[in-house]
Amino acid sequence: MSVEISGRLLSALVNAQRVVAFTGAGVSAESGVPTFRGNDGIWEKFKPEELANLNAFMRSPELVWEWYAHRKRIIAEIQPNPGHYALAKMEQMLPHFAIITQNIDNLHRRAGSKNVYELHGNIERNYCMKCRTPYSDDEIIGRDVPCLPRCRRCNGLIRPDVVWFGELLPEDEWGKSVSAAESADVLFSIGTSGVVYPAASIPLMAKRQGAFIVEINPQPTLLTDHVDEFLLGASGVILPELYSRFILEHQPPEP
Ligand code: BJW
Ligand code: ZN
């Protein structure tokens, strides 16, 4: 399937100084990470709105840990897909490139991206809720899960280092993300339904400051009416194609 990439988009990208990729669960779908919502959102037993919050964890920590232990296993076994790799290569070609991700799966870094801001944490990290001691998966998985992992120092409950509903986003990552969005010349919104705030305001912040906004998604979202270009399809197909076209435009012709 050939991807239609307009001259307008290519020229915005080639002339851009600052580019941001804002990503959501869809960018990892082709790696085998289930998305949260929509047609392909396959969490039947586990609804993110019901489980990804502190009340649910305090009420039934075993159930919430079961969900995270299951997802940790999926994520440990899968690989970044061509979409992640295309973004990592793009970073090397552009003067300033940032990934602002809502994903907790670490796949952007595993694909080689360096400048990554994680708005909702990282599933590979854990910490004690009482004394904040960090714990790696190796220290807890297998030892306590599916029972409850507890802190060696204070016996407090250990939780995954992710952002649940009702919790503040990490201040540093949020601040850097807002700065990157507000100074972007081009912003890509890739594989996100755009329903979870404050993350969903990132593309709109960039737009207000005059950025060229491109959305990549197999289906329209709440953002689609506000973007300059909508590329309908899977990011694992569109991003590599976009990167190839960008390289052709970017490199000076052979003498
Ligand atoms: C493809 C594809 C392919 C498929 N290629 N694309 C009322 C109004 C407004 C706001 C609120 C409200 N009530 C409460 C709030 C605030 C709340 C919120 O936004 N709720 C809304 C749901 C209504 N937000 C918060 O609570 C945030 N904190 C906050 O606001 O703090 C201030 C505060 C303090 C105290 C009290 C109240 C407020 C925190 C939000 C934390 C979100 N956490 C999660 C879980 C992280 C940990 C974990 O993973 O377990 O983050 S929820 C989940 O949703 C996860 C995701 O990062 C996030 C976004 O989902 P995403 O990435 O967009 O995925 P999907 O599945 O929705 O979409 C996938 C897309 O991919 C689809 O469009 C597909 O079409 C597409 N796709 N295949 C490209 N191959
Ligand atoms: Zn502790």
Q: Which pLDDT tens digit goes with each residue over 80-92?
A: 999 999 999 999 9
Cα separation, 18 vs 163, whole angstroms: 27
- Do 30 and 111 touch, CB atoms closer than 8 A? no
Known active-site residue 84: no
φ, ψ for residue 52, nearest 5 deg: -85, 60
Cα separation, 170 vs 149, whole angstroms: 23
Residue 40 CB less than 6 A away from ligand 1: yes
Residue 226 CA to chain centroid, in angstroms?
21
Ligand 1: distance of its center to the CA of 245 in Å? 31
Give the pLDDT mean for 107-125.
98
Which ligand gives the minimal distance to the CA of 155? 2
Ligand 1: distance of its center to the CA of 142 in Å? 29
Ligand 1 atom nearest to CA at 235: 5
Residue 64 CA to chain centroid, in angstroms?
21
Which ligand gives the minimal distance to the CA of 128? 2
Residue 209 CB less than 6 A away from ligand 1: no
Q: What angle do CA 86, 89, 90 make, to 5 degrees?
A: 85
**pLDDT, tens digit, 9 for 90 and up, residues 218-243:** 999 999 999 999 999 999 999 999 99
Residue tagged active-site, from 70, 108, 120, 250: 120
